[in-house]
Amino acid sequence: MSAIHELGALDLWRLLHARQLSAVEVAEHFLDRIDRLDEANAIVHVDAELAIARARAIDDADDRTGLIHGLPFADKDLTRRAGQPASLGSRWQAGVIADVTDPVASVLDAAGGVVLGRTAAPELGFAGYTRSALHGPTTLPGHPGLHAGGSSGGAAAAVAQGLLPFAPGSDGGGSIRIPAATCGLVGLKPTRGRIPANGGVGQVGGLVTAGAIGRSVMDVALLTDALIGRVNGVTPHALTLRSPERDDGSLLAAAVRGEGRFRIAVMTGTPWDASHDIRIAPEADDAVATAIRALEAFGHEIGEVALPDASGFLGVSGYAEAFTALWRGGAATVPIAREDRHLLEPLARWIIDTSDHLTAGGLATAQLWATELERRVLAAFAPWDAVLTPATALTPRPLDWYPQDGEADFDAQVLHTPHTSFVNMVGLPAIALPVHRTAPTADGVPMGVQLIGRPGEEATLLAIGRQLERRIPWTQRVVTAMRP
């Protein structure tokens, strides 16, 4: 049998379910790897005592029906869990211990997961890379001079190193898809509202949703099903917004089947073209070309679609103005006293300081503009089952790429990842797939593509992803790169 860390999450689940492995055995294996092998700085806190106690309770239980029964995971450092650190990646919150558990953590506990600790995140989750003054940088495994992406960079780097079989993350502008693609993994951002515990509903702008990162499409589907937390096969939505779902069916089943022929459009342009000098690197174009060749080989129809524009609507100059207003609206809810802002790093401080000048009318206008963009995008994308873009416009960034100035840092992130944030604004599902490497040797780095789907049609994205996975051996690449 392969080593425990070499097995995919679904394979591990089968062995746990059949009692060929115990949850304690699996937890101890991954805890040992975290202790010895986390060269990328992916895990910022470990609670081995909690993990083993949880694993032992799962082994002793008669009920083995949990969707992720006995499987280890780690909370992102933005997720609260009672009794655990709640630093939010910030010196401002250093030493704070959570007194409540967030619903997204409770859902994974209820599904039978075994939490080992916490994965690294940038301060307050504001960056598309993972570095903080509190915990340092999280790097691309095997490439210590490059960022792992963010803000779920710790989650992605942990999976890529074989420290976890999969990991939950959150995505407000690309924060699952960016690190997944950077680390050679699969990352799924679900439709707004699809994850009841953290699906964007009730947030300013509705941008952030929980999602999953894993080595394979099936593992990501399995964790996403667990995050949905269906009760008797039905999603237990606590609010009236309900994401469309086809018969509340298993996403894992759709991924396992990987069936269908679809109409897929390559998207031209990015929403930042009018405000920034966006340049798509040849390596990003190569990733798209690799995906197109594979898709055509499966018989899918390939076309082209232009990203619609809503500039001028309600007097808003364009996407950059609306998105930054929504981002600042979210920052305005951070409960930090003015006298404590000196503890913040440049990016977070810039976003929060500028949020002071956001008016109620400005925020409302940005939200209405975003709704209009959503209408136009859904209409433009409607003829297509999925829309294809690069996951990142540039290769993984060097550690010194992002300036120590908040506004300049934000602009640098736009240049790196101009295709991801609009998907959050319009609430659509999207998956990152690591279809390409810049070189076949160890010096090569992963480059991915993004597939954007219709509302509630994560199953279609997973089916297409599974087809690509059968043709492009990215799962084996990750396993081969892991240290024993």
404, 415 Cβ separation under 8 angstroms: no
Find the catalytic residue in 90, 151, 355, 421.
151
Token duo for residue 405:
């100035």
Triad 367, 427, 395: Cα angle to 5°: 105
- Using alpha carbons, select from 480, 479, 442, 449 the residue that is nearest to residue 159: 479
243 in active site:
no
Query: What is the token pair recorded at 60?
Result: 């002793």
- Structural contact between residues 479 and 161, judged by C-beta atoms closer than 8 angstroms: no
Catalytic residue (one of 87, 90, 175, 355) = 175
The position carrying tokens 């089947």 is 257
In whole angstroms, give the CA distance from residue 115 to residue 107: 12
Q: Which residues pair with 167 in a beta bridge?
A: 213
**What is the separation, in whole angstroms, between the first and last Cα of the chain?**
14
Q: Is 87 labeled as catalytic in the residue annotation?
A: no
Q: Which structure tokens are listed for 484?
A: 């024993």
Concatenated DSSP letters for 264-317? EEEEES-TTTTTS-----HHHHHHHHHHHHHHHHTT-EEEEEEPP--TTGGG--
Residue with tokens 């073209």: 273
Closest CA to 227 of 239, 211, 243, 238: 211
Catalytic residue check, 151: yes
Distance of CA 482 to the CA centre of its chain: 21
Place of tokens 């799924």: 188
Report which of 166, 169, 211, 187 is spatially closest to residue 72, judged by C-alpha positions. Answer: 166
By annotation, the residues acting in catalysis are 76, 151, 175
